[in-house]
Amino acid sequence: MDIKSILLGFLTRQPLTGYELKKRFSISFSFFSGASYGSIYPALKKMEQEGLVTQQLEIQDGPPNRKVYSITAAGRKVFIEALTAPFHWEMPKNTFLTRLFFFSHLSPEERKAAVRGHLESLKETQRQLQSTRAEIEARADYYQLQCYHFGLRFYQDIIRNVSHVLQALEKTPGKEN
C-alpha cells in the first residue's frame, strides 16, 4: 500500500493531525515501511485537493494551532479499493544481498566485520520490535496482531539467514572466488 492508502486507513478510525498520523505510522509501520513528515504532509495536502480528506483548524490557547484531518466518503471508497486490490509482488531491495554479491573485493576480515555489523543491527531492530509486545498486544486488533507476529517471524528468519552467511565465512576465511 502506498502512503496515501495507509494514511486513509488511519483516518478511518478517527480524525488525526499530521503529527498524530506520523506517530501512529512510526509505531505501527516503522519496522517494515518508512514515512517522514516530508512525505506525510504533501500526501495529506494532495488528498485534501482530491477530496479524500478534509482539514479543520483547531484554535489552541497557545501556538501552534492544530490541523485535524478527517476522511471523506470518497476517501473511504479509495481506501477500500486499495485494500481489496489484487496483490502484486514487490521486488524487495536488499542492500545486504547486493553487497554480499561483491564480497570477493573485500578481505576475509572485512567480510566478517560487515556481516557481524549487519547482524547486530538486525538483532537490535528485533529487540526493539519485541520490546513493544505488551503495548501492541494490549491495543492491536486481530489483524494488527497478525502483522506484528509476521514481523517477529520475518526478523527471526532474516537473522537466521545472515547468521548462516557468517558461519560460512568463518568456515572458509580465505575463500576469494
Tell whether the model's pLDDT for residue 176 goes beyond 60: no
Q: Is the peptide bond before 15 cis (omega within 30 degrees of 0)?
A: no
* Residue percentage of the chain with pLDDT more than 90: 64
11: how many CB neighbours lie within 10 A of its CB?
23
Residues 6+ apart with CB under 8 A from 25: 6, 7, 10, 33, 35, 40
3-state DSSP assignment of residue 175: coil
Cell numbers that stand for 164 in this block? 548462516
Indicate the average pLDDT of the chain: 89
74 vs 52: CA distance, rounded Å: 5
- Calculate ∠ Cα 16-18-20, nearest 5°: 55
Mean local confidence (pLDDT), 10-19: 94
Q: Answer whether 83's CB lies under 8 Å from 12's CB.
A: no
Q: Answer whether 18's CB lies under 8 Å from 36's CB.
A: no
3-state DSSP assignment of residue 132: coil
Range scoring the smallest mean pLDDT among 9-18, 58-67, 93-102, 148-157: 58-67
pLDDT of residue 38: 79
